[in-house]
Structure 1
Amino acid sequence: MKLKVYDTTLRDGEQTPGISLTPTEKLAIALRLDELGVDIIEAGSAITSKGEREAIQDIAHENLNAEIASFARILKEDVDYCLDCDVSMVNLVVPTSPIHMEYKLKKSPGEVLNQAVNVTEYAKSHGLKILLSAEDSTRSDMNFLKEVFKQTISAGACRICPCDTVSMLTPEKSLNFYKELSSLGVPVDVHCHNDFGLSTANTLAGIRGGASEFHVTVNGIGERAGNASLEEVVVSLNQLYDNYSTNINLNQLYSASKMVSRLTGAYLEPNKAIVGENAFSHESGIHSDGMLKNSHTYEPFNPELVGNHRRFVLGKHVGSKGLQNRLEQLGIYTTNKELSKIFDLVKNLADKGKIVTDADIQAISDYVMDIAEDTKVDLQEVTIVSSNRVTPTASVKLGLENQMILEAGIGVGPVDAAINAVNKGVKEFADVELEEYHVDAITGGADALIDVIVKLRLGNNVISARSTQPDIINASVEAYIIGVNRLLEIKKKQDE
C-alpha cells in the first residue's frame, strides 16, 4: 500500500520554542522536502504574519511536485489569507475536546460544529481542498467526533485527521482509534505528538488501523516534546513492514536532517534514531570486531540506505580489531607488538576522559613505532585584524619544505579568515576541505582553555585533528595545520 507523507516541519515544527524561520529559509527547506519526495508540505499558517504569508506564497509559486497546504482555524478570515497565498489545500483545524471547546473557544459543541461546517463550505466554494483536522481528538467524545467528521465531509472535506494533540494514545489504543474512524468514507490521516516518546509507534499503529497518510516533521521537531519523526516513520515502514511504501528518497534523509537542524538551530541528539551522529557509530571492542566481520551483526541496516556512513569511535571501549582497522585507514601498519602498545596507550588516554582523535593516534603511533613525523607545512606566524568596522583579515607565514610563504585571507570571522589564509598557502600542495569544526571551553571562566576539533577532507581521505590552547584562533589554526600535515602524509603513502 502506497502511503502519503504530510510534512509539517514548516508549521508544527516551527512552533518549537526558539525556532523562527525567514521566508528564504522556509523556501530552502521546502525545496529540500520536495526533493526528498514528500507528498504534501504544510508551508505554515497564513494568519500568522505578513512574513509567513510571503513564505507560503513563495513556496506555492515554485510549482513543486508536492502539494502545498496552509494551516487555518475555523474562521473565514483564516481561509481568506490561505487563498491570498495561492495554496491548493487548507488544513482546517477544529478543536473537539470538551476542555478546548469550553476553555479555549468558550463555545458549545453545537456552536463549534456549525462553525466547522460553515467554514468548510466556504473553503470548498473557493476551490480549496480541505483536510479537516480534529484538534485534541483523543480526548474528545467519540460520538461527537464522528458527527463533526460526517458533517464536514458532507460540507466538502476530502480527508480527515484525528490529531493526538497531547499524546494520549498508546500503540494499542492508536490501532483501534484510527480503525474506528476509517469507515467514514474519506481517507484518514494520523497525526501524533511525542509527549510520552510514543509518536513513531503510535503513527505506525495508526497506519495499521487504516490511516493512508501520516503527519511528520524532519527530526521530530515541534512544540513541547515534538512530533512524529519523518525519518523514523518512513525507515520503519521500509525495514519493518512488507506491505507499506512511500515516495520518500531514503538516501536523502541524513542530508535533509542536517539541513533542517542547521537552519532551525534545533540541536540534534547524537543518539537520535536514523540520523543521529551515533546512529552508526561503534566503540565497544566486541561490537567493532563483529562489525568488521559482518556489518549486520550490530546494525539493522546499512547506513548508506539513509545517506549516512559508519563510524568507529576510539575510546575506552575500543577493541584491538577496531583500533587496527582505524590505524590501517590512516595508513599506519603495525606489528602485533606495536599494536598492543598503541592499544594500551589509547586506553590509558581514554580512561582520563580524553577524546581520542586521529591526531592523538598518529602521535601515539609515531612514539611507539619511533617514526618522526614528516612535517610538510609549518606555521611560523599568524596575525589577525578584526573589528566591528573592518572585515576580519588574517596573514600567515608558513614554512613549506625549503620555502617561506606569506598569505592573507578574509572571512566572516577571525578564525574563518585565518583558515582561509592557510588554505591559500597550501593550495599548491593540497585542496583541503573543512568538513566540521567544533569548539569547547574545557574549563570555566575568562581564562578557559579552548579545545578545537576539525574534520578535514582531501580526496577520499577524511581525518580529524585537535588542538587545545587559551586562544581560539591559535588553537583553530594549529588543529588545521596538524590535519593538513596528516592528510599530506596519507596522500604521500598512497602515491608511493
Structure 2
Amino acid sequence: MTKTLNILDTTLREGEIHPGISYSTNERKEIGLDLVELGTPRIEFPLLSLGRGAKLTDITSATKEIEESSNSIAIIQCRSLKSDIESAQQYEVKGCAVYLAVSEIQRKNKLNEISIEETINRLTESMTLLKECGFKYRRAVLEDVSKFFSAYKGKEDTIENFTKLIKAVNETEATIISLPDTFGALTPGQSIKMFKTARQLTKKELAGHFHNDYGRALTNSIAVIEQELIDEIQVSIYGLGARNGIPDHYEISVYCLDDLNIDIGENRDSFWKTYHNFEKITKIPIPWRHPLKAIRESAGTHIKQQLKNKEGYIPKKKLLHDFNEQEIIHEAGKYLSKQQIQILIGSLVDEKTVIRITNKIAGYAQLRGKNILPIEVRDLIQKDTGIKLSIEDVSKVIYGSNFGFLILKLDPKTPARVMVDDISSWEGVEWITQIYGSIDMLIACQLKINEENTLEKVKKKYRKWIQSTEEWFAE
C-alpha cells in the first residue's frame, strides 16, 4: 500500500475538550511547534470566544509560526455561522473547518428542527464564504452523520438523505468532506460502508474522525485506512478528546509507517520526543498502556528472552525508534529470571548456586509482597556467597543503567513529611526514606525521566531545605 494519507492532529482543539485539559498560550505554541517538527501536515485549533476573556494571540502566537513552516498548515474549526467564519479569518491561517449537525436527533435538539434542505443551504453558504475569505483548505463537517449507518438512526437518517447531503456538499466550494462518528458507536463494517457510499458520490477528499465511546476509534480508523477510503485521518496525542477521546496520533501514524508503507510525511524517529515533550509541557503522564510508556518486565521467562534477544518480545522497529536501554526495566520479583543472577555471578559460582540464589531472592520478594531493589539484591548475594557487587552493576541488570540513589543532607527545619509525600508520587521513584545521621533522606529512583534529571528536579523544588546532594551508584 503506497497511498498518501494526511494526518490532522487536533490535540490543540479536540484535545482541549477532554475533561481537565486547558492549555496556556505558551503550551499551545510549544505543542504546535513540536507537531511541526514531527512533520504533521495539518494542525487544528479552536475558534476562541474572544468576548469571554480570550485573546486572539492565544492562538495566533502558535498558528503564525506553523503557517511559516514549509510542510504544515493551521486550521481553525468553527460553527456554520457567518460571524464565526469572519472571526476565523482574523487568525490568518490557510484552513478552516465548518461543522453542522445533520442527524435527525441533533437537528431537532441543537438546531431548532431545521430540515435536511436547510442544512444543505447553510453548508453551501458557509463553503462559499470560506472561499471568499481566502481559505485554501475548506472542510465541511457533517456532524453526527454516522447515525445514518448505525443501529441508532432516526426516521430521517436514511441512505436517501445521506446521498442527498453528499451530492449537495460535492457541489459546494468545500475541498474536503468530514464524516465523523460523533457518538462513537460505529463498527468497522459500518465505517467502511459509510465511506464506501460517500466515495461513490464524490471525488472530493474525505476525512475520518472516530470517537472512542465503545473503544472502536482505532479499529474503525484502521478499517477505512486499509480500504483506502479516506484522505485525512484526525488524531490527537494520547487520543485526548471529548468523552472517551479519539484515535491516538502515535498508534495511527506508526501503523501507517511501520506496517502499511503509507506516505504520511512524518518523522518516525520524532514520536518519542514529541510525546515526552507533551508530557513535560502539560504534566499529563503518558498513559500506562501507551506504546511509548517505558516497559517494565517482571516475568522471568520474558526477562530471560529480552536479556538474550529483545526482539523476542519487542518488535525490531519499536526497538529502533521508540526505546533506549533506560526505558526497558527488568524488575526483581517473585518471578525473578535465573538469567539475571547468571549475568551477575555466573562466572564466579556453579549453576546450582545461581539457581539457589535466584530462588532465595524470589522467595524474599514473595514474602515482601513486592519487587525488591538492586541494593537488596546486592546484600542478599553478598550475605549468601560473600561476593561483593557494586550497586551500579546490579542496577544495570535489575532495573537498567538509569536506576540509582539520591542522597540528601537536609536542614533540620525541613518539612520532611511533605517532601516524602510529594517525591514518592513522582514517576520513576521506587521509594523514599528518612535516615537520621550523616544522611537525612535516601531516594531510590530512575535518575532521568523524559530527559529531566531527577536530582535537578529535587534541587530545584526543595533548594531552600537541601544542604548537600549526591547521586550514588557505586559503593
After TM superposition, is the score higher than 0.5? yes
Q: CA deviation digits over 1:446-496, x for unaligned, max 9?
A: xxxx99542126xx9x999xxxxxxx98xx989x75xx231x45xxxxxxx
In the alignment, the residues of structure 1 paired with residue 286 and residue 218 of structure 2 have an alpha-carbon distance, to the nearest angstrom, of 17
In the alignment, the residues of structure 2 paired with residue 287 and residue 213 of structure 1 have an alpha-carbon distance, to the nearest angstrom, of 39
Kindly tell me: are residues 69 and 35 of structure 1, through their superposed partners in 2, closer, same or farther at Cα, counting changes over 3 Å?
A: same
Match of 2:27 among 25, 28, 41: 25
- Tell me what 2:142 maps to: 134
Cα deviation for residue 374 of structure 1 reads 8.2
Kindly tell me: are residues 453 and 223 of structure 1, through their superposed partners in 2, closer, same or farther at Cα, counting changes over 3 Å?
A: farther
- Tell me what 2:11 maps to: 9
* SS class of match (1:356): coil
Kindly tell me: are residues 93 and 347 of structure 1, through their superposed partners in 2, closer, same or farther at Cα, counting changes over 3 Å?
A: same
- Tell me what 2:383 maps to: 367
The answer to whether the 8 A contact 2:297-2:303 is kept is yes
- Tell me what 1:203 maps to: 221
In the alignment, the residues of structure 2 paired with residue 204 and residue 30 of structure 1 have an alpha-carbon distance, to the nearest angstrom, of 25
The 5 Å alignment of 1:224-373 reads 224-242=243-261, 244-272=262-290, 274-278=291-295, 281-309=296-324, 310-325=328-343, 327=344, 334-336=348-350, 339-351=354-366, 352-370=368-386
Indicate yes or no: 2:454 matched with 1:485: no
RCO higher in structure (CA 8 A, sep ≥6) = 2
Residue identity opposite 2:373 in structure 1: T
The 5 Å alignment of 1:20-419 reads 20-47=22-49, 51=54, 53-62=56-65, 63-64=68-69, 65-106=71-112, 107-128=114-135, 129-140=137-148, 141=157, 142-183=159-200, 184-209=202-227, 210-242=229-261, 244-272=262-290, 274-278=291-295, 281-309=296-324, 310-325=328-343, 327=344, 334-336=348-350, 339-351=354-366, 352-370=368-386, 381-383=409-411
Kindly tell me: are residues 147 and 189 of structure 1, through their superposed partners in 2, closer, same or farther at Cα, counting changes over 3 Å?
A: same
Cα deviation for residue 354 of structure 1 reads 2.3
The answer to whether the 8 A contact 1:19-1:266 is kept is no
Cα deviation for residue 17 of structure 1 reads 0.3
Quote the RMSD (CA, aligned, Å): 3.7
The answer to whether the 8 A contact 1:12-1:222 is kept is yes
Residue identity opposite 2:251 in structure 1: E
Q: CA deviation digits over 1:134-158, x for unaligned, max 9?
A: 1111103343334333333422100
Cα deviation for residue 46 of structure 1 reads 3.4
Residue identity opposite 2:184 in structure 1: S
Kindly tell me: are residues 380 and 50 of structure 1, through their superposed partners in 2, closer, same or farther at Cα, counting changes over 3 Å?
A: closer
* Greater Cα offset, 107-116 or 57-66: 107-116
- Which structure 1 residue ranges, 5 or more long, are not aligned? 388-393, 395-413, 420-434, 443-449, 465-471, 490-496
TM-score (norm 1): 0.74
In the alignment, the residues of structure 2 paired with residue 333 and residue 85 of structure 1 have an alpha-carbon distance, to the nearest angstrom, of 67
Cα deviation for residue 70 of structure 1 reads 0.8
Q: Figure out how many residues of one structure are paired with residues of the other and give that number.
A: 417
In the alignment, the residues of structure 1 paired with residue 187 and residue 6 of structure 2 have an alpha-carbon distance, to the nearest angstrom, of 22
Cα deviation for residue 215 of structure 1 reads 0.5
Match of 2:446 among 455, 480, 487: 455
Cα deviation for residue 385 of structure 1 reads 6.3
Kindly tell me: are residues 144 and 350 of structure 1, through their superposed partners in 2, closer, same or farther at Cα, counting changes over 3 Å?
A: farther
* SS class of match (2:205): coil
In the alignment, the residues of structure 1 paired with residue 126 and residue 170 of structure 2 have an alpha-carbon distance, to the nearest angstrom, of 12
